[in-house]
Amino acid sequence: MHLLATSTLLAVIIATTSAAQYKNYTEFDLFKNTGFVPCPVNAKATNDASTTDFAASRWVTTQEQVCRYMAGTPIIIPTTPSQTAFFPWYPTYLLQAVSLSLSYLGLWLTLRSMTKQQGTPSVRIPRLFWIQLPFDAVRIIAFLFKAIHGFADEKRLAWINVLLWLLPFTYVFITLLAAQEQSTSRQYVYTPTPQGLEFQTSDHPEHKIQSATEVQALSLTQPKAWNGIPTRWKVILISSILATILLLTFSLATVIEHWQFRWISPSTALDKQTYIPIPNAVSNPSTLGQLPNTCLEYLSSDTLQHTEFFHQDSERKAFAVITTLQLVFSLFSLSAIFRGNKTLLSRSSQVLIINAAITCLGLFIPAFAVGMLIVKEKGAVLRFTNDLEVTGGCTFAFLGMKREVGYWDVPYEFGFRVAMSFFGAA
């Protein structure tokens, strides 16, 4: 009789632990982009005997692996990924690298055009510069939007591109050079001499020089007064300086905040969760189906919410290290820019080359590294409780997103995420 009752109870539980059990939630809420389905009741006494941790994480690639760790009554908790959960895997890094490479290529073509016109009466700024400028301004706006939004709501704290600040910094030097060339329209007086032609410019009437090369060198070593710079160049210059300061400040603050997630702030804080449980699932567990009373009592106690259960620390640490190295690399490499007494033209060229190299290497190398990591560990992370006595005979779990294509197969905010990567912001 006891055996019959037990079998009947198991049959009822198995029937309720099915797709119908989660009718209040979407497939993405429960299984993300993994394609897995609910598991039946598992009579195993323990989930994973290899660890004594209350909350354990395992990489799973098959349905059998998922169910192997779901002892007792398996309960998948519906969750929503925070912005932190969308780690910048190789598709994100590659799109940022290609997009920013085009911007640096455009600035190089602009600088090359101005270099060819050195010593001429009028330097024309190529049309490409004016086409590129508003696009790069949108990059800055997108970055600031993501950064400010993330600090206002930590659930929206994203992995912003900490190398983007190098772009407006490059604009500072390109703009200074362009402003200097267009601040005054030079007039040249040519005087024949036995040695050849002597040049005299309107902005240096007291100094006769022997060649156009000397005109160029003199103009570079004696910049024009601020009042002589056209207004549009003043606006671009000031905006570039402010953008550099703001982006660098937010980059530093973001790196600190990502480390703060684990080692400074209390790790059980709700706003530090990588995956956020859907409120109704925790406040009203009956929406998860017909569960044993002991499991309902545990979930209703809110104990699970205030543990590290909904954290994904291993990946977060890895990307915190990558982001930190990117920022440190950019800061240390800039020391080469200010060495020596150079003309504005040569310094602008040096800034452009160094910043472009830092940006490309700082994005292509991590793209390759994390790509190799994905090859090594495929599938998704299953996070589950590992003590049936504490949880009332149920295993509570949630699934992270599969990362093989960098979450680009996840519809959740897809267009927004791709746009941010395209602009090189996040």
pLDDT, tens only, 387-416: 888 888 889 999 999 988 889 989 888 999
Per-residue pLDDT band at 210 (split at 50, 70, 90): low
Q: How confident is the model at residue 198 (pLDDT cuts 50, 70, 90)?
A: low
What is the average pLDDT score of the chain? 80
Torsion of the alpha carbons at 326, 328, 334 and 335, rounded to the nearest 10? -160
pLDDT above 90 covers what percent of the chain? 32
Indicate the pTM of the whole model: 0.80
Does residue 417 carry a pLDDT above 70? yes
Cα-trace Rg, the chain: 30
Question: In this predicted model, which residue has the larger pLDDT, 362 or 118?
Answer: 362
- DSSP E strands in 82-222: the ranges are 188-193, 196-201, 204-209
**pLDDT tens digit string along 242-272?**
999 999 999 999 888 877 755 444 444 445 6
Q: Name the band, by pLDDT with cuts 50, 70 and 90, for residue 4.
A: very low
What is the 3-state secondary structure of 278-342? CHHHHHCHHHHCCCCHHHHHHHHCCCHHHCCCCCCHHHHHHHHHHHHHHHHHHHHHHHHHHCCCC
Alpha-carbon distances of 361 from 328, 329, 358, rounded to whole Å: 13, 10, 5
Mean pLDDT, rounded, for 199-220: 50
For 302, residues 6+ apart whose C-beta sits below 8 A from its C-beta are 282
Closest by CA position to 370, among listed 134, 181, 89: 89
